[in-house]
């Protein structure tokens, strides 16, 4: 099955509306902020079974804005930015050759749990390469996910080597395939979204740290909300199209808000004093490296843009900093306080 066929098949399935999802505000916020600024570095969602992790991530598809791509290019190459171009498109661009441009929705690619490295990274036809002298490359899921979202359900059950490959590509924005002395690279800049159940095992700390944000979600406890969720799901299952229609207005409004936030993001400023305090929090919490500082700065700016503002407030930082730092804290088996609460307590201490 080709990548285009896979994408069309996913898009044709009725998707539960994002704005109809009750609760789980942290997860929804983390996903929206990553769409506004993909350089935040993706999000890891950990929670109990049946808490709507997969439903929420897949519901994001409806909200994704459109992008310009080079027509019929398997890598979704950008028509004017060399950083997001395949080698072939870049050569045409540098030689001043005309590029046919098309508009398509940002895509979300599902990575199956049993996927092989060849399916993910792509394959090189060695025989064709040797006999014809042509680099015969069959693109994989990373190519289809370029400039889009790659979703990995049960990421904690994936082979560690495959997780390494995904995280390396997400961090560098490129995927390199090497076979029998032949090497091919292509752009693979995507938002990596992973979900999993903590009962089935945690990711290694060094892998967890590579996700920009981390949302922990639990089962809804309030009986009224549980009834509302059950009724909504029943209504959607009985008539998906009718159910989706009732949320068209709110979906369009949220989609427009995201598009406007992406445009506004470049104008958002973060006060120097706030930046110092963010770094002070990271230092006080003994966070390794500087990734926590960088992600918190980016996420706070994205939230300000989402709210239609060009200046970050302390409240913006307070909302996003647990999502950015909770998974970077060193694990203490004797600790009784939740890592997110620990981050917020330190925020109050530093910002007081």
Residue-range domains of the chain with CATH? 3-65+106-217 (3.40.50.300), 265-351 (1.10.8.80)
How much is the pLDDT for 318?
A: 95
Per-residue pLDDT tens digits for 43-59: 999 888 877 788 888 88
Task: Reduce the DSSP state of residue 153 to 3 states and report it.
Answer: strand
Beta bridge partners of 183: 178
- Torsion angle of alpha carbons 307, 221, 55, 59, nearest 10°? -20
In angstroms, the CA 350 to CA 288 distance is 19
- Greater confidence (264 vs 125) lies with 264
Per-residue pLDDT tens digits for 154-182: 887 888 788 888 888 887 888 888 777 77
Q: In which region does residue 298 sit, left (phi positive, over 0), alpha (psi from -120 to 50) or beta (all else)?
A: alpha
Per-residue pLDDT tens digits for 303-321: 999 999 999 999 999 999 9
Per-residue pLDDT tens digits for 324-333: 999 888 776 5
Please check whether residue 212 is in contact with residue 302, taking contact to mean a CB–CB distance below 8 angstroms. no
User: What average pLDDT score do residues 98-103 get?
Assistant: 89
How much is the pLDDT for 43?
A: 92
How much is the pLDDT for 11?
A: 46
The model's pTM is 0.86
Closest CA to 321 of 213, 176, 168, 193: 213
Instruction: Given the residues 58, 147, 291, 328, select the one marked as catalytic.
Output: 291
Please check whether residue 347 is in contact with residue 321, taking contact to mean a CB–CB distance below 8 angstroms. yes
Total residue length of the chain:
352
In angstroms, the CA 246 to CA 244 distance is 5
Q: Residue holding tokens 């009834």?
A: 227
How much is the pLDDT for 211?
A: 87
291 is catalytic: yes
- Count Cβ neighbours within 10 Å for each residue of 149-186 and write b for 16 or more, e otherwise: bbbbbbbbebeeebbebbbebbeebebebeeeeeebeb
């Amino acid at each position: 099955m080709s990548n285009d066929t896979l994408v069309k098949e996913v898009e044709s399935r009725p998707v539960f509306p994002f704005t109809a999802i009750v609760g789980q505000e942290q997860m929804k916020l983390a996903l929206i902020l990553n769409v506004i600024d993909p350089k935040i570095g993706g999000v890891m969602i950990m929670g109990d079974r049946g808490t709507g992790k997969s439903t929420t991530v897949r519901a994001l598809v409806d909200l994704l804005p459109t992008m310009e791509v080079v027509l019929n290019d398997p890598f979704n190459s950008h028509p004017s930015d060399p950083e997001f171009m395949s080698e072939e498109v870049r050569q045409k661009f540098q030689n001043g050759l005309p590029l046919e441009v098309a508009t398509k929705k940002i895509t979300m690619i599902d990575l199956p749990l049993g996927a092989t490295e060849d399916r993910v990274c792509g394959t090189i036809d060695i025989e064709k390469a040797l006999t014809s002298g042509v680099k015969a490359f069959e693109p994989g899921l990373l190519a289809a996910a370029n400039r889009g979202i790659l979703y990995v359900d049960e990421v904690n059950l994936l082979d560690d080597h495959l997780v390494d490959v995904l995280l390396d590509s997400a961090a560098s924005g490129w995927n390199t395939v090497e076979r029998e002395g032949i090497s091919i690279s292509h752009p693979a800049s995507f938002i990596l979204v992973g979900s999993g159940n903590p009962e089935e095992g945690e990711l290694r700390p060094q892998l967890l740290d590579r996700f920009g944000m981390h949302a922990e979600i639990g089962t809804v406890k309030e009986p009224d909300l549980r009834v509302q969720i059950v009724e909504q799901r029943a209504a959607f299952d009985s008539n998906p199209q009718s159910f989706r229609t009732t949320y068209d207005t709110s979906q369009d409004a949220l989609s427009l808000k995201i598009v406007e936030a992406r445009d506004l993001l470049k104008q958002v400023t973060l006060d120097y004093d706030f930046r110092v305090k963010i770094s002070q929090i990271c230092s006080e919490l003994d966070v390794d490296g500087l990734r926590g500082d960088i992600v918190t700065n980016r996420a706070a700016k994205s939230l300000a843009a989402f709210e239609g503002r060009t200046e970050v407030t302390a409240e913006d930082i307070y909302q996003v900093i647990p999502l950015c730092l909770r998974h970077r804290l060193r694990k203490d088996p004797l600790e009784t306080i939740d890592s997110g609460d620990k981050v917020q307590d330190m925020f109050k201490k530093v910002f007081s």
